[in-house]
């Protein structure tokens, strides 16, 4: 009871102090009410922001994932869950030798293949003066060159020493093929989700 009485005295003292400060400044009653309402609105907004901070964090995470290009992938324990894109395909943003590279997952591709632009950006060493490998693709036959990825990381899954092909015929598409998928513990498609397990 004494604690409540002390709080009331403290609140009354604070109110008297605020009123005295406003009276000393000779501010009109209308101006005082406007300032009071503005401060109430500011504190109400801060209270709402604080109360919904969890929801705002989820929104922030979604927006940053969309901007980073990782909205369709998430780590769940040691496995990685991908969501089918609007185009009907599964894609993933991976780190190739520490650099971000977007891949289309293609279970019809025997070997992982990067465009020459992506290979150059990832710092991969491949020799165009060497004999090319002729591969059959859905778009016909194409030339590619052998190369090796020291490290590829998809969320929590890390693979080292992955043999790949580099092709000038891919445009801006990179294919994550069966030589990557076969080295996983398992992978499966369930509806609009693809689950990769190390």
Residues 121 and 167 in one domain: yes
Give the pLDDT confidence of 122-179 residue by residue, as tens digits. 999 888 888 899 888 777 888 999 999 999 999 999 999 999 999 988 888 899 999 9
pTM score, two decimals? 0.65
- Dist CA 133 CA 145 (whole Å): 6
126, part of any domain: yes
Backbone angles phi, psi at 74, to 5 degrees: -155, 145
Tens digits of per-residue pLDDT, 9-21? 887 887 788 777 7
Rg, Å, the chain Cα set:
30
- 175 three-class SS: strand
Structure tokens at 80: 């990685």
Contact 171, 115 (CB under 8 A): yes
- Domain count for the chain, please give it: 2
Range of the domain at 9: 2-51
Residue 143, domain CATH:
2.40.70.10
User: Do 44 and 73 belong together in one domain?
Assistant: no
């Amino acid at each position: 009871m004494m604690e409540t009485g002390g709080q009331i005295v403290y609140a009354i003292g604070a109110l008297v102090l605020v009123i005295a400060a406003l009276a000393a400044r000779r501010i009109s009653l209308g101006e005082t009410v406007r300032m009071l309402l503005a401060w109430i609105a500011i504190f109400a907004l801060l209270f709402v922001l604080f109360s919904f901070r969890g929801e705002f964090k989820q929104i922030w995470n979604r927006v940053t994932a969309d901007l980073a290009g990782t909205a369709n992938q998430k780590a769940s324990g040691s496995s990685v869950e991908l969501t089918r894109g609007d185009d009907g395909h599964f894609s993933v943003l991976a780190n190739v030798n520490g650099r971000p590279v977007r891949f289309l997952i293609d279970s019809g591709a025997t070997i992982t293949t990067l465009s020459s632009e992506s290979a150059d950006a990832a710092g991969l060493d491949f020799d165009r003066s060497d004999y090319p490998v002729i591969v059959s693709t859905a778009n016909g036959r194409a030339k590619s060159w052998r190369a090796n990825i020291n490290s590829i990381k998809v969320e929590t899954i890390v693979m080292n020493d992955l043999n790949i092909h580099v092709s000038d015929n891919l445009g801006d598409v990179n294919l994550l093929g069966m030589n990557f998928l076969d080295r996983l513990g398992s992978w499966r498609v369930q509806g609009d989700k693809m689950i990769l397990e190390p």
